Amino acid sequence: MQSQRQSEENKRRWLGHLEQMYEELYAWREAHPAASFDEIARQVTPRRQAAMGELLAQLASQHGNGVEVEGVVCEVCGRRLEYKGTPRRLVEHLEGEMELKRAYYYCPHCEGGIFPPGSAPEVGEA
């Protein structure tokens, strides 16, 4: 779990991101007084998705990156999974895109992996 200091830093960074988003959108709207609702939404949506992506990444990493998990076994065959490091992974979601750095475990028998530990295996993916 994150320290109180790290949690406060994440909160400060996210609120700063929201403040910047507000300022950019307000300035854009001032410069485009005849903009339609759809034009406004086209400005808001990517910024909102970026802000939500950052929040989702913070929340996903709140309890660590999965490296400290021991004895992880394959949900398909029950054999012990091999730790393969902590690669970065781009995760796309309706709420936004985020890049996560999480532990990845692999089953050489089933050729499936878990990223992060505890999720359903991705059979056939290395």
Structure tokens at 79: 């054999």
What is the spatial distance between Cα 22 and Cα 44, in angstroms, rounded to a whole number? Answer: 9
DSSP assignment, residue 126?
-
Q: What is the pLDDT of residues 57-80, one digit of tens each?
A: 888 777 666 665 677 788 888 888
Residue bearing the bigger pLDDT, 44 or 10: 44
Q: DSSP for 41-87, please give it.
A: HHHHHHHHHHHHHHHHHHHHTTT--STT--S-B-TTT-PBPEE----
pLDDT, average across residues 84-111 = 81
What is the percent of the chain with per-residue pLDDT over 90, rounded to a whole number?
A: 28
